[in-house]
Structure 1
Amino acid sequence: MHRRRFIANVVAAAGPFTGAACAAAQGGARPAPAPGYGRLKPVADLRDGKVRLHLPDGFRYRSFSAAGEKFSDGTTVPGRHDGMAAFAGPKDSTILVRNHEVNGPVGAFGDESAAYDPAAGGGTSTLHVTRHGEVIRSGPSLNGTMMNCSGGPMPWRAWVSCEETVNGPDVGDDSSGGDNSRLTRGHGYLFEVPVDRAASARPIRSAGRFPHESAAFDPSTGALYLTEDNFSFPSGFYRYLPPKHPVQAGRLLDGGRLQMLAVKGRARADLSRGQPAGASYATAWVDIDDPDPAFTGRPSNEEAVQAVGRQGRAGGAAIFARLEGAVFHQGVVYFVSTQGGATAPGDTPPPGFGEGRGQVWAYETWSGRLRLVYESPRSSALDLPDNVTVSRRGTLVLCEDGDGDNYLRGLTRTGQIFDFCRLQPIPDDPGAEFAGSTFGPGGHTLYVNVQAKRGRSFAIWGPWERGLF
């Protein structure tokens, strides 16, 4: 390749966050707040006239497929709406594959004969909707799994759904999951859900048994990058190298190799704490020898949930605080450390591992370089980011999981952060949060979930061209 073309390709692959974005890290000069789309105001839901979201002028929305309602086949919509992806459907429709982060041995929804574990209540649903959130048809697509938190869309028209748990009959009970002895299968795996048919409910065991959160696919190499959300303990950033390129295979194959990210020259580098402005690290990968450990003697949940991560850290892998959302864009995997960073003056450290209010990291797949692109200076700027997606202009959309008001916030290519949407407080459900943000085909509609006691999905549309999405 000619030198000039090589340099141009490298610059393009570097992704949108450079220069000023790195200065947004804790301790550095910060860009001025981005103007975004303007002041947020209460907007009525086109479904029933109730105010559920606050949005800028010109934006509208409709909610749909709430927990407790019925799918097209007559079965009941489960709760805990979480990660989601959008795919092009026929006649300008959108196909959504949506996770349900249900914990405990509460029984499978939908057809129990198709369930991975008939005792487990999580899984995914697939919905065909219009650009304005009108449901054409819907139904279960994966059931009998557990704590399906997030995942990632795949270019062969599939969703990889991630279980954020290691519950099973071979593991002690967790603090909120109920009696694990009632489960029939081990959990903590990846499951592939095709867009056009029900899932096979076969776990990808070689991709690890740990509290998975998100999956981001690199089409140039076939690697699948994975985040770990270990609430009380350190988390790691992984990649799964399948035995055959998934695009060639037409699916994600089991039998590959799992690795965990390390910082070169710094064994067990603790990146969960506040970082200097422009923090950037050369990285390496540590092999995980036993990605699917066979638990004997029914160890405690606290022991089992660390079994894979401890292998990586024993080999020098880096430490993060609660890795959640991840998205691939232009050769870069952007991923979120929900509780990473330094504790700002006046802020109370959140419970669990990590004392900050959130970091956004970028891993350059083409160079192996890890960069910090944003670290929250205080909870009022960004409060515990969770799921993440990217707009056509390269702006990240961050779902918050904070203690007070929860927002959808934008993080621009130059490191500016702005408010786009605020969740109307739900009086009897202070823990309600945004999740599963994803742009539909063509960027006309932003689909997003609210995880709540009675969670629901939303379609949001309006004058995107007026701002930074």
Structure 2
Amino acid sequence: MDRRRFISTVAAGIAAPFAGVACAGVQGGAKPVRGGYGPLRPVRDLRDGEVRLHLPDGFAYRSFSAAGDEFSDGSRVPGRHDGMAAFTGQDGSAVLVRNHEVNGPVGAFGDRADAYDPMAGGGTSTLRVTRHGEVLRSAPSLNGTMMNCSGGPMAWGAWVSCEETVNGPDVGDDSSGGDNTRLTMKHGYLFEVPVDGTATRRPIRSAGRFPHESAAFDPATGAIYLTEDNFGFPSGFYRYLPPKHPVQAGRLLDGGRLQMLAVKGAKRKDLSAGQRPGTTYATRWVDIDDPDPAFTGRPANDEAVQAVGRQGRAEGAAIFSRLEGAVHHQGTVYFVSTQGGDTSPDDPPPSGFGDGRGQVWAYETGGGRLRLVYESPRSSVLDLPDNVTVSARGTLVLCEDGDDGNYLRGLTGSGRIFDFCRLEPIPGDPGAEFAGSTFGPGGHTLYVNIQAKHGTSIAIWGPWERGLF
């Protein structure tokens, strides 16, 4: 297949699961609704018979490409499976591009001679799988990067992977205790991974060096909307304006302009605090003059990680708490504030910046209106949402990163929230969570990752027509 036809097919594959989506109808004032598909029950994995998920009746799943498994070339699959997107493959298969959020100078997976930084253990893998989770081919597609958390699918046939760190030999060690002097390159950038090959490993420096989380592409303008997950400090909502529309260029070009969202008439508006769903704000954008700052004297990591965001806030940019998942649909970017909202009387405040259990925001790319879609009242309803995608019926699929018993939850177009899947607790690994949810071609399969000490990817299928996805 020639590249032009391939890109056209891939673009159609991205759009297919979202056909007919009416997610713009998601409204505030959501009321908890139990059982979008009925009660959850333990279901055995078709790969090995182990119980990993609790699902409604009629649903099945298979895990695949776990940490430590072999790629098709014989190298080993790294752990920390995170953000992911599905594209249309040949003969009804799906092509998955998957992040690995590995931190520290642990050495690159795959061929170190090709790595961006031979000492960094993160990156992406690309897999071609059936709709029932059988791996047809798999390989490393970006290596030598670090803390590749999430990113986003791009309409020209690529995945943009985001580094959630500013580690490098020019800054002090982060809280994990890794020795940054062992790194050979600066980190904290976007990297493009073509679906039909491997990455060039050239960072998009003009899109900023900060703890990136997700990237959502707006086809109308060519802008890339970016979230920031600055765990212990305020976070911002950004957009990168490339020098040429990426669809016309066939790739994401460096040399553009980075901006940060501000609320009109309210400098440094704190949107991390609790407020009523449905609240709207008029917005503006402020320029970041130095998106890729040069550090001298190895500043502390806590200082370096705020260098870009402080520039925006000095110009009045809004304050959020831990912005993570983001998805674009029909001119609106939906994004998640993991710890946004008021402190719940039923829950202790989580660690890090922000005392709430999660918010979902919507930004209209045309008119610039920002709206609070939903705010969690307590962890039993929604607990620290992270990655997000959209179903064919306009329902947001939220991956939880909570304290215990994480769920995949749905937030419908009418503002109802429901449980779809619960993660079976993993002994000795209380931090296990869902990540990287993405619907495959035609919406038959929901692919999702379990990020854990021994993570894996999972394919879920069943009677979607019976419920709200």
Q: TM-score, normalised by structure 1?
A: 0.95
Check if 1:396 corresponds to 2:396.
yes
Map 1:391-430 onto structure 2 (within 5 A).
391-430=391-430
Of the candidates 23, 30, 33, which is equivalent to residue 16 of structure 1?
23
> Would you say the 8 A contact 1:103–1:177 is kept in 2?
no
> Would you say the 8 A contact 1:13–1:332 is kept in 2?
no
1:361 is matched with which residue?
A: 361
Q: Aligned partners of 1:275, 1:17: CA distance in 2, in Å?
A: 20
Deviation of the 1:15 alpha carbon? 5.4
How many aligned positions are there?
A: 451
Map 1:118-137 onto structure 2 (within 5 A).
118-137=118-137
Amino acid at match of 2:324: E
1:426-457 Cα distance to aligned partner (Å, 9 max, x none): 01111100000000010000000000010000
Deviation of the 1:17 alpha carbon? 4.2
Q: Aligned partners of 1:426, 1:48: CA distance in 2, in Å?
A: 16
Change (3 A) 1:228 1:38: same
1:95-131 Cα distance to aligned partner (Å, 9 max, x none): 0000000000000000111100001000000001000
1:143-169 Cα distance to aligned partner (Å, 9 max, x none): 000000000000111000000000000
Q: Aligned partners of 1:177, 1:396: CA distance in 2, in Å?
A: 36
Amino acid at match of 1:301: N
1:455 is matched with which residue?
A: 455
Q: Which runs of 5+ in 1 are unaligned?
A: 1-11, 25-30
Deviation of the 1:32 alpha carbon? 5.2
1:214 is matched with which residue?
A: 214
Q: Aligned partners of 1:23, 1:14: CA distance in 2, in Å?
A: 20
2:227 is matched with which residue?
A: 227
1:334 is matched with which residue?
A: 334
Q: Aligned partners of 2:317, 2:425: CA distance in 1, in Å?
A: 40
Map 1:37-436 onto structure 2 (within 5 A).
37-436=37-436
Amino acid at match of 2:28: C
Q: Aligned partners of 2:144, 2:277: CA distance in 1, in Å?
A: 45
Amino acid at match of 2:351: P
1:322-379 Cα distance to aligned partner (Å, 9 max, x none): 0000000111000000000001112100000000000000000111000000000000
Deviation of the 1:22 alpha carbon? 1.6
Q: Aligned partners of 1:329, 1:463: CA distance in 2, in Å?
A: 24
Q: Aligned partners of 2:177, 2:214: CA distance in 1, in Å?
A: 21
1:402-422 Cα distance to aligned partner (Å, 9 max, x none): 001100000000111000000
Q: Aligned partners of 2:419, 2:352: CA distance in 1, in Å?
A: 26
> Would you say the 8 A contact 2:164–2:229 is kept in 1?
yes
> Would you say the 8 A contact 1:209–1:292 is kept in 2?
yes
Change (3 A) 1:13 1:439: closer
> Would you say the 8 A contact 1:363–1:371 is kept in 2?
yes
1:444 is matched with which residue?
A: 444
Q: Aligned partners of 1:98, 1:32: CA distance in 2, in Å?
A: 31
> Would you say the 8 A contact 2:35–2:420 is kept in 1?
no
Deviation of the 1:16 alpha carbon? 2.5
1:3 is matched with which residue?
A: none
Q: Aligned partners of 1:468, 1:69: CA distance in 2, in Å?
A: 34
Change (3 A) 1:44 1:78: same
Q: Aligned partners of 2:411, 2:204: CA distance in 1, in Å?
A: 33
1:286-326 Cα distance to aligned partner (Å, 9 max, x none): 00000000011110000000000000000000000000000
SS at match of 2:442: helix
SS at match of 1:203: coil
**Identical aligned pairs, as a percentage?**
81
SS at match of 1:468: coil
Q: Aligned partners of 2:244, 2:420: CA distance in 1, in Å?
A: 40
1:187-213 Cα distance to aligned partner (Å, 9 max, x none): 000000000011000000000000000
Q: Aligned partners of 1:89, 1:132: CA distance in 2, in Å?
A: 14
> Would you say the 8 A contact 1:170–1:295 is kept in 2?
yes
> Would you say the 8 A contact 1:13–1:366 is kept in 2?
no
> Would you say the 8 A contact 1:15–1:332 is kept in 2?
no
> Would you say the 8 A contact 1:398–1:409 is kept in 2?
yes
Q: Aligned partners of 2:102, 2:164: CA distance in 1, in Å?
A: 10
> Would you say the 8 A contact 1:168–1:181 is kept in 2?
yes
Deviation of the 1:18 alpha carbon? 4.0
Q: Aligned partners of 1:420, 1:414: CA distance in 2, in Å?
A: 17
1:4 is matched with which residue?
A: none
Q: Aligned partners of 2:23, 2:353: CA distance in 1, in Å?
A: 30
> Would you say the 8 A contact 2:21–2:391 is kept in 1?
no
Q: Aligned partners of 2:263, 2:432: CA distance in 1, in Å?
A: 36
2:7 is matched with which residue?
A: none
Q: Aligned partners of 1:298, 1:111: CA distance in 2, in Å?
A: 30
Q: Aligned partners of 1:13, 1:125: CA distance in 2, in Å?
A: 30
Deviation of the 1:235 alpha carbon? 0.1
Change (3 A) 1:275 1:43: same
1:28 is matched with which residue?
A: none
1:1-58 Cα distance to aligned partner (Å, 9 max, x none): xxxxxxxxxxx99952447x2223xxxxxx3526410000000000011110000000
Amino acid at match of 2:66: A
Change (3 A) 1:403 1:346: same
**Structure 1 segments (4+ residues) deviating >2 Å:** 12-19
1:53-100 Cα distance to aligned partner (Å, 9 max, x none): 000000000000000111110001000000000000000011000000
> Would you say the 8 A contact 2:277–2:374 is kept in 1?
no
